Amino acid sequence: MHEVLGRLGLDRDARVTLRDPGDDRALVRVNSPATGRAIAWVRLDDAAAYQRAARGSVAAFARWRGVPAPARGQVVRAIGEAFRAHKDDLGALVSLEVGKILPEGRGEIQEIVDIADFAVGLSRQLPGQVFPSERAGHRLVEQWLPLGPVGVISAFNFPAAVWAWNAMLAAVCGDSVLWKPSLLAPLTAIACNRLASDVAAKMGYVWQTPEGTAEIFGLVIGRDDVVGQALVDDARVPLISATGSTRMGRVVGQRVAARLGRSLLELGGNNALIVTPSADLALAVPSIVFGAVGTAGQRCTSTRRLIVHASIADEVCARVVRAYGQVMGRIGDPLAPGTLVGPLIGAAAVAGFERAVALAVEQGGKVLVGGAKVTAGGELAGGHFVQPTVIRVPTGTTLAIAQEETFAPILYVMEYQTLAEAVAINNSVGAGLSSAVFTNSLLEAEAFMAPDGSGSDCGLANVNCGTSGAEIGGAFGGEKETGGGRESGSDSWKAYMRRCTSAVNASGKMELAQGIRFE
């Protein structure tokens, strides 16, 4: 047993077993992507367990909604403090379970702390508006009211932060949360959800009902056909926030729409970074490498396409290849100090990487660096490691594979002549999540962010910042096949509430619409 499981109490959790149960399909095996070996086994929820959890979430909402928003904020504040205290162990668990290097694992838990801080402030600022009425002695009042239980479906690559972006905002808005995590990362979900639930319970926010315990933060772990579809189809859950592939989002969006529910979709990204002739390459190159290599290319905001002006393409490629050379010797155990690149999540991801590289070469691309699996020894012999890869696209051509999102550290380098051409390449893919331009030209920067929408068509458009590393304060999300949802900062909280407009008559008279009079 890895010691972090004991420190977080996972070895004592009723869902978790550390001994091989054999062929018991009621449990899912959780593997370390760095070793390929089992970390633990987790018991799956069946249909009856889902119904119990859903009823508990409904019952919790009925009580939690009546708690004043600033008091709800104090619960979230305490949750943030608890995650701050357990940051190192939870970060190590993220690294163990999904293969992020340790600084990234800890950084993910810091995002929970950050969104909790944001939500605490929001709890005292949830606004309403008063509008002037056309009728004397009347006013129009707009209120934002708690919505209901919120379903959260998260992916393996951010097994904790995405839940928190939703859960902390939903909690201060007066909603309960029902979380279905990826089956590739259930241990992180158990640890995080239990920590939040324990804090709420200690503050008195857990309720015993005739049907069982009602908690603000609920958790269901199960297969899509048993738990996932039940959650998505459940009319008691007015909002489904789902993070994952575009394919998954299409299914979820259609099923939720069929019952006229709301969906918040955070889906794929095939993100591009443009480098103009005026760019400061000392800024651009580290951002390119971090964006393409970080989390082994398994972020939705990973840099996948590099669009470089033809006049500097050779120089940029040479600098990027040199930088990759420093990375190649630091692929390995994500928990070890000094590691820069951990494993892909599993064998299927490695196969996807190999397929993409082979197709890119077949379609005319040239591998500048990387392009192969990494065979590790010792404890890591069963791990799923690959080389970060740069593939140059021949001038004047395109690669069909570059139009797809491959969840792996592959960077395609393309050339352009005019900024309009670069923006068109940026916008040519189905997804529209993140984008960036490196330039010292104000005119180029403004064209990229054009107020008429003719620049980048992505939800995130950065200038002299890379495609990865979004901050809590801004709304996070994208357009087109990315799904259109927004999480985290700005006014993303509106997704977790319902709007109510009220007309208030204090005139003592009844003025009917359209001037109608009844004698």
Number of H helices, E strands in the chain: 14, 26
Rounded Cα distance, 61 and 63, in Å? 5
In a domain, 188, yes or no: yes
The mean pLDDT value for 268-281 works out to 98
- How high is the pLDDT of residue 295? 97
pLDDT at 133 over 80: yes
**Which of 97, 104, 215, 266 does the annotation list as catalytic?**
266
H, E, C per residue of 37-86? CEEEEEECCCHHHHHHHHHHHHHHHHHHCCCCHHHHHHHHHHHHHHHHHC
Per-residue pLDDT tens over the stretch 166-207 = 999 999 999 999 999 999 999 999 999 999 999 999 999 999
- How high is the pLDDT of residue 258? 98
In a domain, 501, yes or no: no
- How high is the pLDDT of residue 172? 98
Minimal CA–CA distance to 256: which of 147, 145, 150, 144?
A: 150
List C-alpha distances in Å: 91 to 88, 194, 340: 5, 15, 15
Same domain, 186 and 297: no
In a domain, 19, yes or no: yes
pLDDT at 518 over 90: no
In a domain, 498, yes or no: no
- How high is the pLDDT of residue 211? 81
- How high is the pLDDT of residue 316? 98
Same domain, 245 and 276: no
- Binned at pLDDT 50, 70 and 90, residue 515 comes out as confident
Residue 76 CB contacts under 8 Å (≥ 6 apart), including other chains: 116, 119, 120, 123, 168, 171, 172
- How high is the pLDDT of residue 436? 98
266 is an active site residue: yes
**Domains in the chain, number:** 2
- Domain's final residue, options 240, 267, 294: 267
Same domain, 108 and 198: yes
- What CATH number did the domain enclosing 452 receive? 3.40.309.10
Same domain, 307 and 248: no
- Domain's final residue, options 237, 267, 297: 267
Same domain, 330 and 420: yes
The mean pLDDT value for 493-511 works out to 95
**Which of 300, 317, 458, 465 does the annotation list as catalytic?**
300
In a domain, 216, yes or no: yes
In a domain, 306, yes or no: yes
What is the chain's alpha carbon radius of gyration, rounded to the nearest angstrom? 25
Same domain, 188 and 253: yes
Same domain, 340 and 235: no
Same domain, 172 and 40: yes
Same domain, 113 and 261: yes
Same domain, 74 and 193: yes
Minimal CA–CA distance to 439: which of 469, 467, 413, 462?
A: 462
Structure tokens at 21: 């149960």
DSSP string, 463-519: ESS-SS---TTSEE--EETT-S--EESTTGGGGGEEEEEEEEE-SSS---GGG----
Per-residue pLDDT tens over the stretch 430-489 = 999 999 999 999 999 999 999 999 999 999 999 999 999 889 999 999 999 999 999 999
pLDDT at 1 over 80: no
The mean pLDDT value for 76-100 works out to 98
DSSP string, 98-124: H---HHHHHHHHHHHHHHHHHHHHHTT
pLDDT at 210 over 70: yes
* DSSP at 403: G
The mean pLDDT value for 382-401 works out to 97
- What CATH number did the domain enclosing 187 receive? 3.40.605.10
> 340 lies in which domain range?
271-471
Rounded Cα distance, 261 and 147, in Å? 11
- Domain's final residue, options 267, 295, 317: 267
Rounded Cα distance, 295 and 288, in Å? 13
Same domain, 452 and 396: yes
What percentage of the chain exceeds 90 in pLDDT? 96
In a domain, 479, yes or no: no
pLDDT at 519 over 70: no
Mean model confidence pLDDT for the chain: 97
- Binned at pLDDT 50, 70 and 90, residue 512 comes out as confident
- How high is the pLDDT of residue 293? 98
- How high is the pLDDT of residue 514? 80
Of the listed ranges 72-81, 160-169, 510-519, the least confidently predicted one is 510-519
In a domain, 476, yes or no: no
